Structure 1
Amino acid sequence: DAEVLWLIVGAPEETELLAGSKTKPDMSLIYPVDPKQLPKELVGVEWPPKS
């Protein structure tokens, strides 16, 4: 009755996500909206800020 620890890992199977792939991945499958999109509270804010 030994204690067992499971590690379950998942990753996309799409070949276009593999390193060295000739085709560009369709990121809309992973990010339904632009990942750099600011929340509605920050509408009109310049991002990233220029220093």
Structure 2
Amino acid sequence: MGQTVAAHDLCSQLPPFRKRHHLQTGVGHYGVFSGRKWETQVYPVVRNFIVSNN
């Protein structure tokens, strides 16, 4: 937890609208990028962010 915030701090030149923080409950480091919660809860957030910033 907190990796997104740390990454945002490192990318200080990005405008705020280019940053998005998402904290997914009920998953660990591996689970956030695999399995059912990735497919149904996390990936849609990531996909929508990418689409909205193209």
Query: If the TM-score is normalised by the length of the shorter chain, which range does it land in?
Result: under 0.3
Whichever structure has more helix as a proportion of its residues is 2
Larger Rg, first or second structure (1 or 2): 1
Structure with more contact order per residue of length (Cα contacts < 8 Å, sep ≥ 6): 2
Query: Normalising to structure 1: TM-score of the pair?
Result: 0.21
